[in-house]
Amino acid sequence: MVVVIAMMLPLSACDDDDNGTEPGNGNGETEKWEPYDFEDHGSATYEYDFQIEEEGEVQYAGSSSIEIDDPAVTVTSVMNGEESVYTAESSDNIEDNFSNAMQNSPFGAILYGGDWSTPFFEQELYVGASWSYSAGGVSLDAEITGMATFAGQEGYMVEYIGEDQNNGETQTYDICVNPDIPLPLMVEVAEEGFHFYLEMTNYQN
C-alpha cells in the first residue's frame, strides 16, 4: 500500500502554529499548491535529508539535491554513503526533465514521485480545510491542521488518512506545502513496520 499511495502523493508532518486560519492570503487571493510548476519559478535548488525505517531499523538514509537549471534538471543523491548523479536535459520542458531525472534516481518514485497535482487540484489552502480523494481502490481523507517552517519556508501541514479499500489497511500521511514552492517542504509516511521521513534542509531560488 505504501508504494500505491506514494505514487498518488507524498505527505509530511509539521509543527502547528496559529497562522493561515482563513481562506486567502490577505490580498483577496486564494492560496493553492501547484506541484511541479517549475516554469513559473525558474532556476532553483532543493536539498533534502531522508530516512527509511523498517521494523524499527534504519534501512536507508542520506541526502538529495535537485537542481533546476531551466530546462536541465540534475538530481544528486547520497544514500547509505553512495553517491549517484543524473542529469536530464533532452526536453525543453522542465517538468519532463524533472520526471526523467527522478525516474533514474534511487527511490525517485517514492521520494518525490506521484501524481500530486490530482489530490491538490484547485484545493484552497487554509487551516481547517478538509477534503477527500479516491483512486485505484485507495481512499484519502485530508485536513490542513496547522503551519510549520522548514528550510526557512513556511507551509501548510496536511494530514491524510489513507485506506486500501481492498484489504482495509490504513496509513497515516502528512505533507507540508508552500504555495510558492513546487515541491514539498516535508514528507512523512507511517504504517505498521514502516516509516519514511523526508525534510527540506535548503531552498535557493
114-138 tens-digit pLDDT: 567 777 888 999 999 999 988 788 8
Burial class (CB in 10 A: 0-12, 13-18, 19+), 174: buried
pLDDT at 3 (0 to 100): 43
| Domains in the chain, number | 1
Burial class (CB in 10 A: 0-12, 13-18, 19+), 192: exposed
- Residue 175 dihedral angles phi and psi, to the nearest 5°: -140, 140
Please state whether beta strands 82-88 and 130-135 pair in parallel, antiparallel, or not at all (unpaired): unpaired
Predicted TM-score (pTM) of the model is 0.83
pLDDT in tens, 190-200: 888 889 899 99
Beta partners for residue 50, in sequence order: 62, 198
- % pLDDT > 90, the chain: 48
Domain span at residue 95 reads 2-204
Q: How confident is the model at residue 22 (pLDDT cuts 50, 70, 90)?
A: low
Cα distances from 24 to residues 20, 116, 123, 127, 147, in angstroms, run: 8, 21, 12, 11, 14
28, 38 in Cβ contact below 8 A?
no
pLDDT at 7 (0 to 100): 39
